[in-house]
Chains A and B, each alone.
Chain A
């Protein structure tokens, strides 16, 4: 059994405790899913697009504290951005916006940017 010895930044803890933009968008213009249940992290991102910008974005996450916080931060970074700007949001940018993530969390629990990109690409493919 593991009693985790992980130190999260204040921003990670804030987004973990008070995640922004939680939910689903039933009539989303684009949706993306990353991760899988076996690995222990799943994140869904939904977007609405108005005049080429991300006018609404929501997420749902099954995962650890870092997975929830990175998903929340990703939606916050994406809201109001153009699609190209959205595609330019990287995992590193999300981690930086959270003042960093523990080394062990940089990869497995920082997938939400990929889900955002998938949602944007789904929209682009349809339009």
Chain B
């Protein structure tokens, strides 16, 4: 059966070039980068080169790049590493930020969770008015993982800088898909994850602007200039660096390709299925994100039908507990729980083709039509169901 992966916001396949780059670092150049002998030095050199590559990809200095186990650790380090005080964030952050904020609230911090508009945008004016004397850090994600909305990061960075507050952004979804400029955007800290950019899982980085005071989470042998102890995952870091350099190298062709596929998918669905809505922002959107809401049908049922046709997507609610937990992001953009249940996220990737999208467009109307035919909600709102299903 044909298998089409459209869940790249969850994770990506490791690029074959990345895999090749990593292989020597398992059994040949396996040394501990802290060891003084030649095995250790070889590993240390590989680590240094990888740090340079990631620094170049971000336009940073090598001393500002700290390797971590991934996006979640980077987010935790950025927030917990800053001395306690007031934090400003948004309601649509990744759980790695939101749950870290909740933890910090239980440990003496005060957190302001800013709302977003119906497109998912934070109003920079709200940030400015939320700043207090004890505000230490503003953390706003660059692009949202569910709806792909790209925040006005440069404006937010300027506000933070003008008010003497640190600015952290989670760039896990945006890196390689929309431009990141640490200087123009006044970013003090930035989280990256390798496995979202065709690199291996279990590795990421936190950029920390030179001069920023931050405490480690991991105490031990003093690796990563003391900010993150633990023997470095050399193979993973080398793979991550390769993936980051490929992301920069392919930035223009990737974003053009993804934007074309995104528009093809959105327009194709709108043309063939009635009562469908695009969740998120019409233009300030990652080139690979399509989040659609289908009236009268439930997301998991759609996901299962798509999975049976070999198409991998995600849904907007966690149908796994006594009550289905609707997505906090879709709630924050103002959707009612009953509408959230019918939302599906398609996230496109480098290896997808227009044939993949044609295949999806070929099967989707039938799936939606089939589910609407058994839905008791259809007669309430519409008699049309799917026009071609």
Q: Is A124 among interface residues, defined by CB-CB distance under 8 A?
A: no
Pairwise interchain contact A104-B376, C-beta atoms closer than 8 A? no
Contact of A43 among B304, B323, B345, B376 (CB under 8 A): B376
Residues of B within 8 A of A61 (CB): 374-376
List residues 58-76 of chain A with CB under 8 A from any CB of chain B.
59-65, 67-68
Q: Is B146 among interface residues, defined by CB-CB distance under 8 A?
A: yes
A108 to B304 CA separation, bound complex (whole angstroms): 18
In the complex, residue of chain A having the shortest beta-carbon distance to the beta carbon of B377:
A62
Residues of B within 8 A of A19 (CB): 374
A65 to B303 CA separation, bound complex (whole angstroms): 9
In the complex, residue of chain A having the shortest beta-carbon distance to the beta carbon of B373:
A22
Q: Is B288 among interface residues, defined by CB-CB distance under 8 A?
A: no
Q: Is B74 among interface residues, defined by CB-CB distance under 8 A?
A: no
Residues of B within 8 A of A119 (CB): none
A38 to B325 CA separation, bound complex (whole angstroms): 10
Pairwise interchain contact B301-A60, C-beta atoms closer than 8 A? no
Residues of B within 8 A of A104 (CB): 319-321
List residues 300-344 of chain B with CB under 8 A from any CB of chain A.
300-301, 303-305, 308, 312, 314-324, 327, 336-338, 341
Q: Which of the candidate stretches A1-9, A77-85, A89-97 sits at the interface with the other chain?
A: A1-9
Residues of A within 8 A of B322 (CB): 107-108
Residues of A within 8 A of B376 (CB): 33, 42-44, 60-62
Contact of B338 among A6, A38, A64 (CB under 8 A): A38
Contact of B300 among A22, A42, A59, A65 (CB under 8 A): A65
Pairwise interchain contact A63-B327, C-beta atoms closer than 8 A? no
Residues of B within 8 A of A127 (CB): none
Pairwise interchain contact A1-B375, C-beta atoms closer than 8 A? no
Residues of B within 8 A of A68 (CB): 301, 374
Fill in one digit per residue for A30-44: 1 if any B CB lies within 8 Å of its CB, else 0: 000100011111111
Pairwise interchain contact B7-A64, C-beta atoms closer than 8 A? no
Residues of B within 8 A of A17 (CB): 305, 308
Pairwise interchain contact A65-B301, C-beta atoms closer than 8 A? yes
Contact of B375 among A33, A62, A65, A107 (CB under 8 A): A62
Q: Is B58 among interface residues, defined by CB-CB distance under 8 A?
A: no
Pairwise interchain contact A60-B375, C-beta atoms closer than 8 A? yes
Q: Is B23 among interface residues, defined by CB-CB distance under 8 A?
A: no
Chain A's interface size range is: 20 to 34
Contact flag A109-B337 (CB < 8 Å), given A40-B324, A62-B375 = no
Pairwise interchain contact A109-B319, C-beta atoms closer than 8 A? yes
Pairwise interchain contact A39-B304, C-beta atoms closer than 8 A? no
Residues of A within 8 A of B377 (CB): 37, 42, 62
A105 to B318 CA separation, bound complex (whole angstroms): 12
Q: Is B9 among interface residues, defined by CB-CB distance under 8 A?
A: yes
Pairwise interchain contact B315-A39, C-beta atoms closer than 8 A? no
Residues of B within 8 A of A43 (CB): 376
Contact flag A3-B10 (CB < 8 Å), given A61-B376, A65-B304 = yes
Give the shortest distance, in Å, between B345 (CB) and chain A (any CB). 5
Q: Is B75 among interface residues, defined by CB-CB distance under 8 A?
A: no
Give the shortest distance, in Å, between A114 (CB) and chain B (any CB). 15
Q: Is B68 among interface residues, defined by CB-CB distance under 8 A?
A: no
Pairwise interchain contact B324-A4, C-beta atoms closer than 8 A? no
A64 to B304 CA separation, bound complex (whole angstroms): 9
Fill in one digit per residue for B16-29: 1 if any A CB lies within 8 Å of its CB, else 0: 00000000000000
Contact of B317 among A22, A33, A40, A67 (CB under 8 A): A40
A65 to B305 CA separation, bound complex (whole angstroms): 9
A64 to B297 CA separation, bound complex (whole angstroms): 9
A109 to B338 CA separation, bound complex (whole angstroms): 15
Q: Is B191 among interface residues, defined by CB-CB distance under 8 A?
A: no
Pairwise interchain contact B324-A39, C-beta atoms closer than 8 A? yes
Contact flag A4-B319 (CB < 8 Å), given A39-B324, A43-B376 = yes
Pairwise interchain contact A62-B317, C-beta atoms closer than 8 A? no
Known: A44-B376, A64-B300. 5 other contacts (CB 8 A): A1-B10, A1-B315, A2-B318, A39-B324, A108-B324
- A residues sitting closer than 8 Å to B (CB atoms) are 1-4, 6, 8, 16-17, 19, 22, 33, 37-44, 59-65, 67-68, 104-105, 107-109
Closest 7 CB pairs of A and B: A37-B338, A64-B300, A1-B314, A60-B376, A40-B341, A40-B324, A104-B320
Instruction: Show 6 residue pairs from A and B whose CB-CB distance is below 8 angstroms, ordered by the A residue.
Output: A1-B146, A6-B320, A39-B323, A40-B298, A60-B374, A68-B301
- B residues sitting closer than 8 Å to A (CB atoms) are 7, 9-10, 145-146, 296-301, 303-305, 308, 312, 314-324, 327, 336-338, 341, 345, 373-377
